[in-house]
C-alpha cells in the first residue's frame, strides 16, 4: 500500500475518533461515505487496469 493511501486512512481514523467522541453524527456519516467512495475507487482501479502497448 502506498504512503498516500496509508496517510488517507490514518486521517480518516483520527477524524472518526473525534466525531465519535464529540457525538457528531452527520460528520461521522460524511467521513464514512468518503472512506467507502475511496475504497470503491481503489477497487475499481484494480478491476480495470490500464493496458500497456
Q: What is the 3-state secondary structure (H, E, C) of 3-53?
A: HHHHHHHHHHHHHHHHHHHCCCHHHHHHHHHHHHHHHHHHHHHHHCCCCCC
Residue 18 grid cell: 473525534
Domains of the chain, residue spans: 3-43
Q: Helix, strand, coil % (nearest 5) of the chain? A: 80, 0, 20
15-49 confidence digits (pLDDT tens): 878 777 777 778 778 888 998 998 888 888 766 55
pTM, two decimal places: 0.47
pLDDT at 53: 55
- Using the predicted structure, report yes or no on whether residue 50 has a pLDDT greater than 70: no
Amino acid at each position: 500500500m502506498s504512503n498516500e493511501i496509508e496517510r488517507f486512512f490514518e486521517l480518516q481514523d483520527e477524524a472518526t475518533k473525534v466525531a465519535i467522541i464529540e457525538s457528531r453524527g452527520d460528520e461521522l456519516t460524511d467521513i464514512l461515505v468518503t472512506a467507502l467512495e475511496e475504497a470503491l475507487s481503489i477497487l475499481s482501479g484494480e478491476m480495470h487496469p490500464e493496458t500497456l502497448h
